[in-house]
A and B are shown apart, each in its own frame.
Chain A
Amino acid sequence: MSILVDENTQLLVQGITGSEGSFHTRKCIEYGTKVVAGVTPGKGGSSFDQIPVFNEVERAVKETGANVSMIFVPPAFAADAIMEAADAGIALVVCITDGIPTLDMVTVINYLHGKATRLIGPNCPGLISPGKCKVGLMPGDIHRQGNVGVVSRSGTLTYEAVAQLTEQNIGQSTCIGVGGDPLIGTTFVDVLRLFEKDPQTKLVVLIGEIGGTAEQEAAEVMKKEMTKPIVSFVAGSTAPPGRRMGHAGAIITGSSGTANEKIAALKAAGAAIASSPAEIGIVARKVLESRA
């Protein structure tokens, strides 16, 4: 097992012919992901590296059986692309696009209510189940198949954490970047529940950052629902309030957005805290050893 993506994933790429879309599609294929279709309006009927390209998602799904979509559409059109994928019945939509207006995401999040589609992102690196399937931007070779689930709001910091785990000989079940925007489709809470149910996952590494209250909400669920151990790091202890630290969601407004508040909540919920970003792998190893 693993969560959300695996060897049964049939990937569709929206924006497959763009520069980022084509580059990362090839990287995903190299990793072993089955890419079955692409969508670029106006280029339907052509192909990209032998992959058929369609004008519409609905048609692509009908003809290829795609069940996951990865979106590289520019920010002005990305919200529409997510809703088009949901309308076509895609089970999992991974939106990589950075820079979607927040009010567009309000529409998207509410459009998805009551639909079977799960959205990951936007503004995220995607997800990978090592050894099985990669739907995103992460360098595949730092991963290793195993039993630790990783969830994070950022990209390169996730790679850093994964590389530390792999160096400690700790493999991963699935690694997910949920995205750095204020409004995202899949939250820490959703991912924790999925990891709790996944038999392959024995421990979860949760990497938070300043801004919002996602870590506090995760802590509530950890207390009430999680039996698996959690290791956590929260980035941004040194960030000043009121400044957006790159991610639209990483801005301290009020006391609940600070790293200290988040660390306190996670600690109270029983998470083992890595106080330094260099110690995520070591802390995970210690927790696994204490459980062995």
Chain B
Amino acid sequence: MKIHEYQAKEILAKHGVPVPKGGVAATPKEARDIASQLGGKVVIKAQVYAGGRGKAGGIKTAASADEAEKLAQEMIGRQLVTHQTSAEGVPVEKVLVEEAAPIERELYLGIVIDSARGLPVIMASEAGGVDIEEVAAKTPEKIIKAYIEPVAGFQPFIGKKLAYGMNLAPEQIRPATQLIGNLYQAFADKDCSLAEINPLVVTSDGRLLALDAKLNLDDNALFRHRDYAELRDPGQEDELELEASEHNITYIRLDGDVGCMVNGAGLAMSTMDIIKLSGAEPANFLDVGGGASDEMVTKAFIILLSDPKVKAALINIFGGILRCDIVARGVIEAAKQVEVKVPLVVRMRGTNVDEGMKLLAESGLPVILAHDLKDAAEKVVAAKEGRLTA
């Protein structure tokens, strides 16, 4: 789960990580007030769930409170398009107004779980402010790593090693060690999957500041963090994706025009792949899950059809825990609730397949049946192009 930069900075500040002075504004007037409290010279940062804001005009400097208000006016209520968003972009509803810190050096600090080692790893680099992937590819020697053993937890020597590794001045080693320890504490306390400060800056007066901050929270840990729900900003998420997730359905909207509904994530990805191999583009990823009920299938199918880009739909089910007759019932019910305007191809295998097929046949729905994965993909592409009808 993603959260906004201002939320990440609030969490970090509570854990003792120094962040720039500032506040979040939902209106230009609020931005102006915060700017004047900070002395006028500020940075205005659009709060969106996407990187690449700087180049897209989502981060701007204001010399006065007047200018801060004007810049906030330009950002709030607009869509921001960055290289990480769709062509429509994401809505800017809030801006972060912060003191413009005098920057001397830009460093990188990040924590993730290294799945090969089974341990959290803290990465630090003196080459901050740029894409860390690029640093890793071009100058890997500039990235220093330290692993955290769960029994011992964070130890000061780890922070010291990373602080010296970033070539900090002697008087900065101790505060940096503390900052790194505090960042790790935030990562562990909040069940993060990523905690990143890029850049971590050294100001001209020698202070360390988290100029940008990103925390991704582990969706699986929701049950022990009630506050996660409050942090979530539904305005940043796709409406259909949000609706699906409320029904425990994993749905991700893509750019193509062939919708698909599958059980299991691996098979769902493979179904997208074979649609592409057959000459079309998938409109979505949709995993109804293993233990889906017929109501969930109905909901999932309606969500799939709600995407106006969808010109044909493919249902691919390998019944195991999920029975084919449940899928058939769910689809038939969906067809009663909404009009199915696009051709529908169904491929089912496994548990109760005969009953499922029989239900579909008796329903009178114009369904094109397919006997295997390849046949299904070819038929859905042909149906989309009008070469095949039920």
In the complex the two chains form, is A249's CB within 8 Å of B115's CB?
Answer: yes
Selected from B115, B188, B321, B350, the residue in CB contact (under 8 A) with A182 is: B115
With A102-B193, A156-B267 in contact, is A255–B133 under 8 Å at CB?
yes
B266 and A106 contacting across the interface, CB-CB below 8 Å: no
Query: Is the pair A246, B351 in contact by a Cβ cutoff of 8 Å?
Result: no
Contact present for B269 and A242 (CB under 8 Å): no
Cα A138 to Cα B274 with chains together (Å): 23
Partner of A247, one of B252, B266, B270, B277: B266
Q: Is B172 an interface residue (CB 8 A)?
A: no
One of A37-45, A49-57, A206-214 at the interface: A206-214
Q: Does B291 contact A (CB under 8 A)?
A: yes
User: What string of 1s and 0s marks CB contacts (under 8 Å) between B323-354 and chain A?
Assistant: 00000000000000000000000000111000
How far does the alpha carbon of A183 sit from the alpha carbon of B264 in the complex, in Å? Answer: 19
Q: Of B254, B265, B350, which one neighbours A240 at CB under 8 angstroms?
A: B254
Residues of B with C-beta under 8 A to A248: 219-220
With A75-B220, A102-B193, A106-B119: A243-B252 Cβ-Cβ less than 8 Å: yes
| A153/B220 in contact, CB under 8 A | no
B358 at the interface (CB under 8 A from A): no
Is A32 in contact with chain B by the CB < 8 A criterion? Answer: no
- A106-B320 CB under 8 A given contacts A180-B266, A278-B374: no
Contact with A along B254-296 (1 / 0, CB 8 A): 1000000011111111111111110001100101001100000
* A142-B350, A163-B349, A242-B84 given; A102·B285 CB < 8 A: no
Does chain B have a CB within 8 A of A101? yes
Give chain B interface residues in 74-121, CB to chain A under 8 Å.
Answer: 84, 113, 115-116, 118-120
Q: Is the CB of B287 within 8 A of A238?
A: no
Q: Which residues of A contact B276 (CB under 8 A)?
A: 237-238
Q: What's the minimum C-beta distance from B82 to chain A, rounded to whole angstroms? A: 12
Cross-interface CB contact of A276 among B151, B193, B282, B374, cutoff 8 Å: B374
Residues in B whose Cβ lies below 8 Å from that of A212:
115
Q: Are A160 and B318 in contact (CB under 8 A)?
A: yes
| Chain A, range 197-224, C-beta contacts under 8 Å to B | 207, 209-210, 212-214, 217
Nearest-CB residue, chain A, relative to B86: A240
Q: Which residue of the partner chain B has the closest CB to A279?
A: B374
- B254/A246 in contact, CB under 8 A: no
Give CA–CA (A149, B109) in the complex, Å: 42
A279 to B275, CA, bound (A): 14
Decide if B226 is an interface residue (CB 8 Å cutoff).
no
Interface string of B109-137 (1 = CB under 8 A from A): 00001011011100000000000010011
User: Smallest Cβ distance from B56 to chain A, in angstroms?
Assistant: 16
Give the chain B neighbours of A233 by CB distance below 8 A.
Answer: 270
Cβ-based interface call for A269 (8 A): no
> Which residues of B227-253 have CB atoms within 8 Å of chain A's CB atoms?
250, 252
Q: Once the chains bind, are B223 and A110 in contact (CB under 8 Å)?
A: no
> What A residues does B193 contact at CB under 8 A?
102
- Closest Cβ of chain B to A80, distance in Å, is 13
Q: How far is the CA of A279 from the CA of B267 in the complex (A)?
A: 14
A245 touches B219 (CB 8 A): no
Say yes or no for B218: interface residue by CB 8 A criterion.
Answer: yes
> Per a CB cutoff under 8 Å, which of A103, A180, A213 touches B221?
A103
Decide if A139 touches B273 in the complex (CB within 8 Å).
no
- Minimum CB–CB distance for A258 against chain B, Å: 12
Q: How far is the CA of A30 from the CA of B255 in the complex (A)?
A: 45
Q: How far is the CB of B203 from chain A (nearest CB, A)?
A: 30
Please state if B267 and A137 are interface contacts (CB–CB under 8 Å).
no
B191 contacts the other chain (CB 8 A): yes
A residues within 8 A CB of B219?
244, 248
Q: Which residue of B lies closest to A99 (CB)?
A: B220
| Residues in A neighbouring B151, C-beta threshold 8 A | 110
Name, among B271, B285, B291, the residue most crowded by chain A CB atoms within 10 Å (CB to CB): B285
A155 touches B218 (CB 8 A): no
A20 interfacial contact with B, CB 8 Å: yes
What are the residues of chain A within 8 A of B10 when measuring CB–CB? none
Q: Does B170 lie at the interface of the complex (its beta carbon under 8 Å from any beta carbon of A)? A: no
Total B residues in contact with A, Cβ cutoff 8 Å? 58
Interface residues on A, range: 35 or more
**At the interface, yes or no: B373 with Cβ under 8 Å from chain A?**
yes
Question: Nearest CB to that of B275 among chain A residues?
Answer: A238
Q: Is A287 an interface residue (CB 8 A)?
A: no
Contact A156 B320 (CB under 8 A): yes
- Residues B223 and A238 in contact, CB atoms below 8 Å apart: no
Q: For A8, what are the chain B residues with a Cβ–Cβ distance below 8 Å?
A: none
Are the CB atoms of A246 and B274 closer together than 8 Å?
no
Residues from chain B with a CB closer than 8 A to the CB of A139 are 319-320, 350-351
Contact with B along A225-238 (1 / 0, CB 8 A): 00000000101111
A9 to B219 Cα, complex, angstroms = 35
User: Residues of B contacting A129 with CB < 8 Å?
Assistant: none
Q: Cβ of B267: which chain A residues have Cβ within 8 Å of it?
A: 154-157, 160, 277
**A107 to B272 alpha-carbon distance, docked (Å):** 35
CB distance from A121 to the nearest CB of B (A): 14
Interchain CB contact under 8 A, A250 and B218: no
Query: Which residue in chain A gives the minimum CB-CB distance to B151?
Result: A110
Give min CB distance, B348 to chain A, whole Å: 12
User: Does B224 lie within 8 Å of A207, measured CB to CB?
Assistant: no
B150 touches A (CB below 8 Å): yes
Interface members, chain A 134-151 (any B CB < 8 Å):
137-139, 142
Rounded to whole angstroms, the CA-CA distance of A164 and B281 in the bound complex is 25
Give the docked Cα–Cα distance between A240 and B372 (Å).
26
- Is B290's CB under 8 angstroms from A246's CB? no
Closest to B2 in A: A242
B6 to chain A, nearest CB (A): 21
Chain A residues, CB < 8 A from B254: 238, 240
Known contacts A106-B113, A245-B268, A255-B137, then 11 further A-B pairs from the complex at CB < 8 Å, ordered by chain A residue: A76-B224, A99-B220, A100-B220, A155-B264, A156-B263, A157-B270, A180-B266, A235-B269, A246-B287, A250-B265, A278-B377
In the complex, 10 of the A-B residue pairs with CB atoms within 8 angstroms, ordered by the A residue number, are A76-B224, A110-B119, A110-B149, A110-B151, A182-B115, A183-B118, A209-B266, A213-B116, A244-B219, A255-B133
